[in-house]
Amino acid sequence: MSRPARPFGRVISLSHVHDPATTPIFPGDPEFRAEVVATIDDDGYYLRYVHQGEHTGTHWGAPIHFRADGLAAHELDPEDLVLPAVKVDVREQCAAAPGYLVTVDDLRAWEALHGRIPDGSAVIAWTGWDAKWGRPEFTGRQPGFALETLTWLLHTGRLGERGALGIDTFGPDGADPTYAVSKLLYGAHRISLECLAGLAELPETGAWIVAGGAVHRDGSGSPATIFALLPQAPP
């Protein structure tokens, strides 16, 4: 029996495999561990008790993460987690300067090639840090977004009424200890998609992001399986 036709092409995962042995932990975050609590031999089924923070591994963050008056995970609309995506390749800049911050000029250069960033997009920076996953250098000085870049995205409507910033590092702030980008992003009722993987397969434009994960009451976010629905190939 054939599968019904679908209005999109391939589905790819933008999530790392969560594994206590290899998943980098943001400094100060809870330990990630998994404990076997039932086995098939002893109990007839296999079950683990997983201990991790809400922002462990590939994850999304809700506004309450940095705003006491922000929406918690259970208060988001489903549409907040389903967004058109654009990928901005800044690997060359980040290889030359690990603390590189994505600039407005980077986005204007992207638009010169691909057209205007669609309103309400998840703007995803491909820094190359996804290739460092599981290695000590992943947790070193990381790139992010410049504050003026996020301000431009918000003021020009490119993040729409929802939208997101996405990145393959711990978060959009880079090395900024004040988390200014995150505070502005969440204060504007947007989310972040962090520790993304598989960005080599994500096209520059045309895909849609679907962010899964458990929705906890009063949650600040969730470890997630994030999928990209790619556009259909032309006939």
**pLDDT tens, the chain, 235 aa long:** 455 666 778 999 999 999 999 999 999 999 999 999 999 999 999 999 999 999 999 999 999 999 999 999 999 999 999 999 999 999 999 999 999 999 999 999 999 999 999 999 999 999 999 999 999 999 989 999 999 999 999 999 899 888 999 999 999 999 999 999 999 999 998 999 999 999 999 999 999 999 999 999 999 999 999 999 998 876 6
Third-level CATH fold of 8-17+55-231: Glucose Oxidase; domain 1 (3.50.30)
Rg of the chain (C-alpha set): 18
Q: Report which of 186, 200, 225, 191 is spatially closest to residue 15, judged by C-alpha positions.
A: 225
Q: Tell me the one-letter amino acid at 127.
A: T
Query: What is the pTM assigned to this prediction?
Result: 0.94
Cβ-proximal residues to 206 (8 Å cutoff; 6+ apart), any chain: 230, 231
For 92, counting Cβ atoms within 10 Å of its Cβ (0-12 exposed, 13-18 middle, 19+ buried), the class is: exposed
Query: Residue holding tokens 């995506």?
Result: 85
